[in-house]
Amino acid sequence: MFKKNGEELLRKFSETAYPYEIKKINDRIYHVVGLGHSNSIAIEGNTSWILVDTLDSDQRALRMRTELMKIADKPVKTIIFTHSHYDHHGGSGTFKDTVEEIIAFKPKKTPLKYYNLLDDVLQKRTFKQFGYALSDEECITQGIGIREGRAVNDGTGVCLDANVLYDQDIVEREIDGVKLQFVSAVGETDDQLFVWLPEDKVLCCGDNYYGCFPNLYAIRGSQYRDIAAWVDSLNLILSYSADVVLPGHTKAIIGHDQVQEVLGNFKDAIEFILLETLKCMNKGMSESETVAAVVLPQIWADLPYLGEFYGTVEWSVRSVYHGYFGWFDGNPTHLAQLSDETFDTKLFSMIGEEKIESEIRTALKEENYQMAVQLCDILLNAKVEIQKYKKLKAEGLMGLSKQVTSANARHYYICSAKELLE
């Protein structure tokens, strides 16, 4: 996650991971990459187009429609949503005059009741995670695709609702002469599905594969993503004899052997993180001890499609820890902890501002930015010269943004630094 040249690595990844192309897979299937934050798959039927996802904005979907009309002048009559995330159906409104059927799966698990009461804070954290308020240079990329249309004034999302909702595990259909299979595949979301075209041996996997380390946990805040179920879904995908896998983000995987190798490694890496975390927990290790102990082996860490450019290993470990154990780590000290403000005020009175400030400035000079920001928090919680230490913390956060490979982390650091300086 952290490297001296983290920013450079993220920039290089973004330059090659999702180049703009409407890639012809065969005579009737096209993979639309780099036109939006997410991809779309266009399938030509006898009289119409079938779309798997619709990009992230109306303007981008309109451009896609224009290009598809050059290939075959047919209306879009069927849309399939791989899952409910905005970036995959924000362009659906573009097809409101022609679409007849919009297909999706019901979630396998009911969302927590009253989750909507968190809308304000979740929106604020979402804006930070995706860097919506940042310039292109500050943002660089959204990690798994170009910036969303709404972030760069390239259209807005006009989302249509699904009018065909399935709750089965597998649904087989023939739509406009095309045989399709819709398969439930819980992973990033509980309503995730993949689309299998048996006559073509092409599988549209949605967001169960990214082309980089996945968001097993989203720092914007989300309910626990069942990683074991995600692994099961990848095993299910691997059981199909696909010659081509078309992801919802990043480039296609071409060739049966390549599909098996790439998705196999992707699945094995995720499963390793899950099982190793559980092993550490079972030994009675604390959350911080577990985070330090669980490291992705080089056989996977060095693979280009497992780089920590979106999700990270550390966030995944922490998510598993809390997902299985909840908040209590077994240390009785933490059963009734003092507030950060109370503890840090006491710590400040024992150490003194001069010493802490000196350590902050030394940490910044040595580019030990994490130490610097944590020391700043002591003084900020103790209400000591707030503006001064906000500025120093902002400097530390900007330093972290240069070292981190994850686009999500980078955005959060920069946005939070700017907020401190307001």
Which pLDDT tens digit goes with each residue over 95-147?
999 999 999 999 998 888 999 999 999 999 999 999 999 999 899 999 999 99
Rounded Cα–Cα distance for residues 80 and 67 (Å): 19
Q: Closest Cα partner for 128 from 353, 362, 327, 406?
A: 406
Tell me the average pLDDT of the chain: 96
* Domain harbouring 351, CATH code: 1.25.40.880
Shared domain check, 248 and 120: yes
Same domain (yes/no): 247, 371: no
Answer whether residue 157 is part of any domain.
yes
Confidence band for 414, pLDDT divided at 50, 70 and 90? very high
Are both 48 and 142 inside the same structural domain? yes
Q: Is residue 241 part of a domain?
A: yes
Tell me the pLDDT band of 403, cut-offs 50, 70 and 90: very high
pLDDT tens per residue, range 10-68: 999 999 999 999 999 999 999 999 999 999 999 999 999 999 999 999 999 999 999 99
> Which pLDDT tens digit goes with each residue over 192-216?
999 999 999 999 999 999 999 999 9
Percent over 90 (pLDDT), the chain: 95
What's the pLDDT band for 222 if we cut at 50, 70, 90?
confident
The pLDDT of residue 350 is above 90:
yes
Q: Per-residue pLDDT tens for 165-184?
A: 999 999 999 999 999 999 99
Closest CA to 357 of 372, 340, 342: 372
- What integer is the mean pLDDT of 351-376? 97
Percent with pLDDT over 70 in the chain? 100
- The C-alpha atoms of residue 84 and residue 388 are separated, in whole angstroms, by 43
Average pLDDT over residues 376-402: 96
Number of domains in the chain: 2
105: its two tokens: 């799966």
State how far the Cα of 54 lies from the Cα of 334, in Å rounded to an integer. 47
| Claim to verify: residue 343 and residue 243 sit in the same structural domain | no
- Is 284 exposed, middle or buried (CB count within 10 Å of its CB: 0-12, 13-18, 19+)? exposed
pLDDT, position 2: 86
Whether residues 243 and 387 share a domain: the answer is no
User: What band does 158 get if pLDDT is binned at 50, 70 and 90?
Assistant: confident
Closest by Cα among 127, 118, 116, 125 to 150: 127
Whether residue 290 is contained in a domain is answered as no
Domain hosting residue 203, numbered range: 6-208+220-227+237-254
Please say if the pLDDT value at position 1 is more than 80: no
Q: What is the pLDDT of residue 130?
A: 94
Q: What integer pLDDT is reported at residue 354 of this predicted model? A: 95
The CATH number of the domain where 196 resides is what?
A: 3.60.15.30
Average pLDDT on 338-351 reads 96
pLDDT 10s digits, 261-297: 999 999 999 999 999 999 999 999 999 999 999 999 9
Taking each helix axis as running N to C, give the angle between helix 353-365 and helix 340-351, from 0 to 180 degrees, rounded to the nearest 10: 100
